[in-house]
Structure 1
Amino acid sequence: MKQSILTALLASTPLLAAAAVVAQPAAPALSVAAESTQMIWNAVAVDRGRIFVAGPRWTGSKGPALALLDAQGQPRPYPDASWNDWHPGADTASAFVNVNAIHLDGRGNLWVVDTGSPDFGGDPLPGGAKLVKIDLATDRTARIYPLGPEIAKPGSYVDDIRFKGETGYLTDAGQPGLIVFNAVTGEARRVLDGDPSTTAPADRPIVLDGTVLKGPDGSPLRVNSDPLELSPDGTWLHYGPLTGPWSRIETRWLDDPNLSPAELAKKVEPWADLPPVGGTALARNGDLYFTDLADDSLKRRAPDGTVTIIVTDPRLHWVDAPFIDEAGSMWLPVPQMDRVALFNAGTSKTRWPVQLFRIDLGLKP
């Protein structure tokens, strides 16, 4: 998320009709998997029973930027202390400046998205914006991929990543656009810059507890291209601003560097009129799980557009980046983003402890 988002262009992607919302008969139980009195985590990944959590620096989080929870549920710096020891003036190339997302690629690697900007609304520091690939078998950094100033531009906030083979797709929530990344060569391209599909509309505010969320300057906060998901077969990339609406585009068009910006923009299609979401996770059957910020709930959108309420609970206040593990359970980190000091005139309203929930949905891994 970025302060530059507040000056984004007005989006014009056509809205799709919102699907009917139904509640399932009995809400599955939430279990607390971990708690923290210092670290504010907005991301989680679980690999063979190991739980990784991460969170951005500007929330006021204390402790590691990326952590592995120990047997007592306490965060320990991962992959080591030096990667989590960045401070102003220190080298940005081999330490986490500001982690916004983590992602398992299904091939034994954990990817870390470092925005490179320690401050909300700040420009990425030279060398700070990067992708870090960690080999989970050795717990060592396998490769660092710098995102230069032509990719992570002034005002950028590189947000999240999904993979199709060696090709990665990322959103930029600050400077609206997508990034297409090659994990073999390390090359990256920006696409759909300033397109209506990647730009937060001015008429769709983020509302929590009945109040419009505002940025540090007092204007309604606008978050450009943020959530994204690949279809199970890798054919489609679905994405949108945090507040929606969502669009989709065939990945074959994103993968073609010879298409002009105008030609590529014509390939974008409206997809779903989702409300403001904290995060999403896509199951293998095509069901999209999303956290609805307005009513502290987890919902499921079926491929036919039907939306089902899975669970509503006041403890699920701004759940960010849900994660489906290999056993078919869902993990829900709750950073309470709107309650951090940045959005409350310098006074934190975070309700401690920050929690990580697990819910058994019986999903196919």
Structure 2
Amino acid sequence: MNRNFSAVLLFLMLSGILACKHEPFPGGDHHQKLELVFKDSAYQLTGVAKQQGGLLLVNYPRWSDKYKNAVVSVQDTIHSTPYPDQVFNSWQPGTDGRNKWVCVQSVYVDDNNTIWVLDPAAPFLKTIQGQGAKLVKMLGNRKMPMEIFDLNAVLPDTAYANDVRIDVRRQFAYLTESKGGGIIVIDLATHKMRRVLAGHYSVISDPAFKFIIDGRELMKDGKPAKFNSDGIALTPDGKWLYYKPLSDDKLYRIETQYLRDWNLSGNALERHVQDLGHFSTTDGMIFDRSGNLYMGDLQHYRLLKITPSLSMHIIVQDPRLIWPDSYSIAGGYLYVSCSQIQKQPEYNNGIDRRTSPYTVYRIRID
């Protein structure tokens, strides 16, 4: 056999092997059905949280003048009530925001079935208002919160706290900050907190990545839209915190023992960040009890599952998954909210491209 031909054949074989190894979406059932659990034709929602055998909560950030409530408890597919009551949802610009919802970005239910509400308190994604940046621990239908964690001391006025995960065993909270990029660590027992990894490459969207969605690069004010650290997930044992910038496909993790070590300097902490490689553009993400990581694929209207061995599978692909945003797992179902962010006027030269309601779906995963 000709030596040159053999070399080419070997190259092609190796290329095929490598291509197969890096094939991003092996297997998976693309035809699992989404079940609609809530829709809102008027107001843009972002977050969803489902208690085991209890409440289904949805939140609405104050991103436009078309706004009613920050957090609601869902009654059926079209009806909801303000959570925990109307008073908490009655904040007005220019007033104190420490004891009311100002601009809630996410809701979360921890392993003890406790509800948490994250309020970055930055209407229109601008600056923190009324000293209202806070993480709030709730308990079901109680009219008052159990505990409020004031974030103002650890965040600049321009910050936007985005998502939260709670380690109930060690009593720590981990939050992403999506404007400047960074992780907020809170000792829930003492209220001590700090912001870490600020500006580190793992919390900053890759400037070279082109965020193509609906056939075009997502743009804002004539520039590529960039979203920094957003999605965050805690492994079932609390050992690892996974996180990523939104507008690229990289995924990172760090052992939480280092985040909880207040004596580690910024540089020392950065050395423990692990780059897991390329996966997808996702907003939120969440682990199940078996250690599978669920996330979205904003560019292709898909939900994905990443196994503990980092093998990635499509679990559903559906045109109704218009910017799958936040996730919650309860009763064997994965709940996902669809916020349609790419259809907002600021990403479409002032034109509202939304043609269907904002929605929450669920899909059986057990």
- TM more than 0.5: yes
Aligned to 2:362, which of 352, 358, 363?
Answer: 358
Higher RCO (Cα < 8 Å, 6 or more apart): 1
CA distance in 1 between partners of 2:136 and 2:267 (Å): 32
Partner of 2:245: 241
Instruction: Give the C-alpha shift of residue 18 in structure 1.
Output: 4.9
Instruction: Give the C-alpha shift of residue 71 in structure 1.
Output: 4.2
Would you say the 8 A contact 1:55–1:61 is kept in 2? no
The alignment partner of 1:33 has SS state of strand
CA distance in 2 between partners of 1:38 and 1:75 (Å): 13
For the structure 1 residues 293 and 62, does the alpha-carbon distance in structure 2 shift closer, same or farther, using more than 3 Å as the test?
A: same
The alignment partner of 2:107 has SS state of strand
* Structure 2 letter corresponding to 1:101: S
Would you say the 8 A contact 1:321–1:332 is kept in 2? yes
The count of corresponding residues between Structure 1 and Structure 2 is 342
Aligned to 1:130, which of 134, 144, 159?
Answer: 134
| 1:340 is aligned to 2:336 | no
Would you say the 8 A contact 2:40–2:358 is kept in 1? yes
CA distance in 1 between partners of 2:311 and 2:43 (Å): 36
* Structure 1 letter corresponding to 2:191: G
Instruction: Give the C-alpha shift of residue 139 in structure 1.
Output: 4.8
Q: How does 1:154-173 map to 2 (within 5 A)?
A: 154-165=157-168, 166-173=171-178
Partner of 2:12: none
TM-score, normalised relative to structure 1: 0.89
Q: How does 1:277-296 map to 2 (within 5 A)?
A: 277-296=282-301
Percent pairwise identity? 30
Partner of 2:73: 68
* Structure 2 letter corresponding to 1:157: Y
Partner of 2:332: 328
For the structure 1 residues 60 and 106, does the alpha-carbon distance in structure 2 shift closer, same or farther, using more than 3 Å as the test?
A: farther
Query: Which has the greater radius of gyration?
Result: 2
Deviation readout 1:30-75 (Å, 9 max, x if unpaired): 1111111222211111122421101211155532110001246312
RMSD, aligned α-carbons: 1.8
Q: How does 1:4-23 map to 2 (within 5 A)?
A: 18=22, 20-23=24-27
| 1:225 is aligned to 2:229 | yes
Deviation readout 1:261-305 (Å, 9 max, x if unpaired): 111111111123122113212111111111101110111111122
Partner of 1:44: 48
Structure 1 runs of 4+ aligned residues shifted over 6 Å read: none
The alignment partner of 2:299 has SS state of helix
Aligned to 1:153, which of 146, 153, 156?
Answer: 156
Instruction: Give the C-alpha shift of residue 79 in structure 1.
Output: 0.4
Gaps of 5+ in 2: 1-20
* Structure 2 letter corresponding to 1:258: N
Instruction: Give the C-alpha shift of residue 180 in structure 1.
Output: 0.5
Aligned to 1:213, which of 209, 218, 224?
Answer: 218
Would you say the 8 A contact 1:131–1:146 is kept in 2? yes
Instruction: Give the C-alpha shift of residue 350 in structure 1.
Output: 1.7
Gaps of 5+ in 1: 1-16
Partner of 1:299: 304
For the structure 1 residues 84 and 205, does the alpha-carbon distance in structure 2 shift closer, same or farther, using more than 3 Å as the test?
A: farther
Instruction: Give the C-alpha shift of residue 158 in structure 1.
Output: 0.6
Partner of 2:15: none
Instruction: Give the C-alpha shift of residue 341 in structure 1.
Output: 2.3
| 1:311 is aligned to 2:311 | no
Deviation readout 1:128-147 (Å, 9 max, x if unpaired): 21111111163531122211
CA distance in 1 between partners of 2:254 and 2:87 (Å): 39
Aligned to 1:268, which of 270, 273, 284?
Answer: 273
Would you say the 8 A contact 1:59–1:337 is kept in 2? no
Instruction: Give the C-alpha shift of residue 317 in structure 1.
Output: 1.2
